[in-house]
Structure 1
Amino acid sequence: MVELGPERVVEVEPERVERWAANFAERHGGATTSYDGARIAVLVGGDGATASFTWSDADPLGVVLVRRGGYAVALVRDGVLVEHKVGTRHVQSRTAAGGWSQQRFARRRGNQADALVVAVAGHALRVLLGGDESPPTGAPSVPTGLVVGGDRTLVGEVLDDPRLRALAGLPRRELYDLPDPKRSVLDDAVRRGRAVRITLHDPVSH
């Protein structure tokens, strides 16, 4: 039995998967391919290396990115931004001050975070649901999956807004390693949200 090393994950654009699979076969002495319908599910290299494919099926795709320095909300269809909103909001960082000053700061910081959450939820309602809090089931303009990223707590608070209940339960791809959202970060999130995630195990050399 071939001993396999620790897993690693790569993200590949759907349009590049066939080329990636061909390169895998070249690197590993050929490959046996298993399919899920018409899509590659698993590759097993001639040397025992394995690659397992997780495809993103959401289309349209919704994106909600929130950090204390800003936010981005977008609706994506066929890999193209249909509508989006990117903005900057400032929530103060922690202070070393104590006593009453610290308490006033904490209240102000909390109010700023609350205002950010409310604002982003409003943008999400407009961009992702067309302003309709109760869209018809299966409406073509409503996302079938979400990409979320930034600050986990803030994202959760945005999606807990009752106006966004139509998004509850949608499959999510989480990207909490993203920096403060801006247009380039949004573009990267869209790319990664559509990407096929490939889990690799290479054989261990002794």
Structure 2
Amino acid sequence: MKQSLRLLALAAALTAAFNAHAVVDATGDFLASFTGTHNAALDIVAADVSFDAAAGNFLLHAQTSGAIAGAPNVTYVFGFNRGGTANTPFGAIGLPDIAFNATAQLRADGTGAVGANAVTPNIIGNEIFGTVSASLLPSNGFAAQDYTWALWTIDTSITGLARNADFAASTNLAVAAVPEPETYALMLAGIGVVGVVARRRSRARQE
């Protein structure tokens, strides 16, 4: 029983640590400076970025309050601070702490890019996913797992700061580490213990 409790506690801690790097954003909180249409595909409600060290890839994810595929002029910009000098261009719209020196763009039309390199996102309903090789985001001082990130949406039919519709957070966030296979096994073991305990309790009530 003690071993089961230890498994549960450790699995819960690992899951919480991974989820802590995700961000949840309020629905409908478009910037006052945004001059475009309040399209739900521009309205970020959740996002996360993780780094898969084994594969050498960054995994990007954003969720919005409405369907994404085909939404006109919608781009999701993931900004990365890779160390060294970073840009902080959003002070004038109340977001001075967003800092980046590289970006990856995922678009609602099913295209994407890191600089001149194409990235193909996956879109499912109101979620968009992208996989970006770390080689496309080379270090500027930080190790890849120590990069920080920010996410914002833009209406590409508008120019200047007025094109920025919504930010996932008001500051940069830490990149999460994708759990190693052994960690996944431990998390699954913890979930298995939960199932066993639940079944035993159910049988006990029936007897």
Question: Which range, TM-score by smaller chain?
Answer: under 0.3
Structure scoring higher RCO (CA < 8 A, sep ≥ 6) equals: 1
Q: TM-score with structure 1 length normalisation?
A: 0.25
- Bigger Rg over Cα: 1
Structure having the higher helix fraction is 1
* TM-score using structure 2 length: 0.25
